[in-house]
């Protein structure tokens, strides 16, 4: 009879297990995604020119790329103190903790505990009647009320039969690695910002020098106009025009001074410190020759740019999240066990093996009906996977366009700078000619003013062109993935 009952019990358990497995087979399938943007990336940035894969400035360490010692010192300070970088480093620590949490779920959870209690069962209950007729020892009845004292170890373990927990851990690792790449991208951006602002500050310094030279020029022109008025060679109108131009130039000087202060503070903010002077040398700014940039080939962006690698790792993590969410439809196997001492009186706890108590339970459980929450989690993970693919594709496309645009900009800004240099030289010569004619009363004040204004504008634009020339090289260096190594 016992054999038949055991056989029926086994058949029932097998039937339940089979129904759980069959129910899990109805788990939905994830969206199959194809990375066409990555597969179709062009062979070159410029279809008319072939790039050399062996030369890529993006792999050059930033300390070799930047040669200005003052700029190098500023970048080093920024890498130590920048708040945004510090925030990113904490995100890495948070992601690292996430990996440890997922890894911990793969191993059993063991805890220790002690407890005490008191219970009195009703006399006319099966438990009470049984206790009343039970003797602990001959002639010694069960105590009433009945105490309970226990202590021991408890363990719980979810067996990873579908590798769901391993998948979750792999996802956490991918997310952790993406935060590391995110930190590298912040480094690259930070170095670019410091360098760009540094060159803008040097440009403002040189513009301030130009406006101060222009003010002196206007003062001399005003003095000449006053002398000519006294000699009846010029009118009061000419004097007032030169006075107005001088006042305008002085006002521009204060505007540039304010811009210098703000730019210094902007750099100090990037360096994570309170306002203080920025050490720099402005004299060699206009003669600075930008370093030559080698772009390599577009496919190298996938390995060099931290933001692309970050997006790729987030895409990998999202795929793993979908896989883990799908496995939630499968039955899970959990094992729980306890081992300890238990007695109704503390002194009996030391009596062994009578006080030894243990328990071992295995449970196979899976969802059968009302799976809406699990389905919603799966659909959310699936949508995030597709979203991560679009984000990855967008990052690759933007990176390619960044480099292509910068390559064109470098060529055009170089031509622009050369032409502005020619314009400046010609206008400087025209100023001397106009002033000579004005002294000899062969040119009026308007010709002098227009020549001086044109020359000033040309010099200001030439300085801006030099700043853009240097900043464009910095920008393409960052676009190629440089700056974080």
Domains and CATH numbers, the chain: 31-106+161-329+380-480 (1.20.1600.10), 110-134+142-159+332-365 (2.20.200.10)
Retrieve residue 309's tokens: 């690698």
Residue among 369, 376, 341 nearest 355 (CA): 341
Q: Is 296 left (phi over 0), alpha (psi -120 to 50) or beta?
A: left
| Dihedral pair phi/psi, residue 272, rounded to 5° | 65, 40
- Which residue has 């297990």 as its token pair? 17
**Longest CA pairwise span in the chain (Å):** 143
The residues, any chain, with a CB within 8 Å of residue 434's CB and separated by 6 or more, are 443, 447, 448, 451, 452
Q: How far is CA 27 from the centre of its chain?
A: 35
Retrieve residue 429's tokens: 């010569």
How far apart, in whole angstroms, are the C-alpha atoms of residue 26 and residue 368? Answer: 10
Measured from the Cβ of residue 351, the count of other Cβ atoms closer than 10 Å reads 12
Helices and strands, counts by H and E, the chain:
12, 6
- Which residue has 């699936």 as its token pair? 382
Residue among 160, 209, 174 nearest 335 (CA): 160
Helices 164-230 and 372-439 pack at an angle, to 10 degrees, of 20
How far apart, in whole angstroms, are the C-alpha atoms of residue 367 and residue 371? Answer: 7
How far apart, in whole angstroms, are the C-alpha atoms of residue 234 and residue 224? Answer: 10
In order of 171, 212, 269, 280, the CA distances from 275 in angstroms are 43, 25, 8, 15
CA 194, 199, 200, 202: dihedral to nearest 10 degrees?
A: 120
Work out whether the CA dihedral 266, 272, 273, 277 comes out positive or negative.
Answer: negative
The residues, any chain, with a CB within 8 Å of residue 379's CB and separated by 6 or more, are none
Contact yes or no for 73/321 (Cβ under 8 A): no
Work out whether the CA dihedral 424, 425, 426, 427 comes out positive or negative.
Answer: positive
In order of 73, 186, 192, 196, 484, the CA distances from 59 in angstroms are 21, 17, 15, 20, 9
User: DSSP string covering 214-235, please?
Assistant: HHHHHHHHHHHHHHHHHTTSS-
Coil, helix or strand at residue 136: strand
The residues, any chain, with a CB within 8 Å of residue 328's CB and separated by 6 or more, are 164, 367, 374, 377, 378
Per-residue pLDDT of the chain (485 residues; tens, 9 = 90+): 455 555 655 555 555 555 555 555 577 888 888 888 888 899 888 766 677 778 899 999 999 999 999 999 999 999 999 999 999 999 999 999 999 999 998 999 999 999 888 888 888 888 777 777 777 777 777 787 878 888 899 999 999 988 999 999 999 999 999 999 999 999 999 999 999 999 999 999 999 999 999 998 888 878 877 887 887 766 788 788 889 989 999 999 999 999 999 999 999 999 999 999 999 999 999 999 998 899 999 999 999 999 999 999 999 999 999 999 999 888 888 999 999 998 888 888 888 888 899 999 988 887 777 688 999 999 999 999 999 999 999 999 999 999 999 999 999 999 999 999 999 999 888 877 777 776 666 666 667 777 788 889 999 999 999 999 999 999 999 999 988 88
Element (H, E) at 254: helix 236-270
């Amino acid at each position: 009879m016992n054999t038949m009952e055991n056989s029926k019990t086994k058949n029932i358990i097998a039937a339940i297990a089979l129904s759980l497995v069959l129910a899990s087979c109805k788990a939905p399938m994830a969206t199959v995604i194809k990375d066409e943007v990555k597969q179709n990336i062009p062979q070159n940035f410029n279809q008319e020119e072939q790039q050399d894969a062996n030369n890529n400035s993006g792999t050059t360490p930033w300390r070799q790329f930047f040669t200005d010692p003052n700029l190098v010192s500023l970048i080093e300070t920024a890498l130590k103190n920048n708040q945004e970088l510090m925030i990113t480093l904490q995100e890495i620590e948070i992601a690292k903790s996430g990996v440890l949490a997922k890894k911990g779920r793969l191993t059993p959870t063991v805890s220790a505990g002690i407890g005490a209690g008191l219970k009195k069962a009703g006399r006319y209950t099966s438990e009470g009647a049984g206790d009343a007729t039970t003797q602990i020892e001959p002639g010694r009845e069960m105590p009433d009320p009945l105490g309970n004292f226990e202590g021991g170890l408890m363990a719980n373990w979810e067996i990873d039969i579908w590798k769901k927990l391993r998948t979750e851990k792999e996802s956490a690792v991918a997310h952790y690695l993406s935060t590391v790449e995110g930190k590298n991208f912040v480094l690259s951006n930070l170095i670019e910002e410091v360098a760009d602002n540094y060159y803008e500050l040097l440009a403002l310094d040189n513009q301030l020098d130009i406006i101060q030279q222009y003010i002196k020029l206007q003062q001399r022109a005003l003095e000449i106009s006053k002398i000519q008025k006294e000699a009846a060679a010029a009118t009061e109108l000419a004097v007032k025009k030169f006075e107005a131009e001088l006042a305008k130039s002085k006002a521009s000087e204060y505007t540039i001074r304010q811009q210098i202060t703000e730019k210094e503070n902007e750099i100090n903010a990037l360096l994570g410190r309170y306002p203080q002077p920025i050490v720099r040398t402005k004299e060699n700014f206009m003669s600075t020759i930008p370093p030559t940039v080698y772009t390599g080939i577009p496919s190298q962006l996938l390995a060099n740019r931290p933001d692309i690698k970050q997006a790729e790792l987030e895409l990998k993590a999202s795929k793993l999240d979908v896989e883990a969410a799908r496995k939630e439809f499968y039955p899970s196997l959990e094992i729980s066990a306890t081992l300890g001492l238990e007695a109704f009186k503390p002194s009996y706890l030391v009596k062994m093996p009578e006080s030894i108590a243990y328990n071992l339970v295995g449970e196979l459980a899976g969802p059968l009906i009302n799976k809406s929450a699990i389905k919603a989690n799966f659909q959310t993970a699936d949508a995030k996977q597709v979203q991560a693919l679009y984000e990855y594709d967008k990052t690759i496309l933007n990176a390619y366009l960044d480099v292509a645009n910068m390559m064109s900009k470098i060529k055009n800004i170089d031509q622009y700078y050369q032409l502005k240099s020619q314009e400046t030289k010609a206008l400087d010569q025209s100023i001397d000619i106009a002033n000579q004619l004005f002294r000899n009363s062969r040119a009026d004040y308007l010709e002098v003013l227009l020549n001086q204004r044109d020359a000033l504008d040309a010099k200001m634009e030439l300085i801006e062109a030099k700043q853009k020339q240097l900043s464009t090289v910095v920008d393409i260096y960052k676009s190629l993935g440089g700056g974080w190594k």
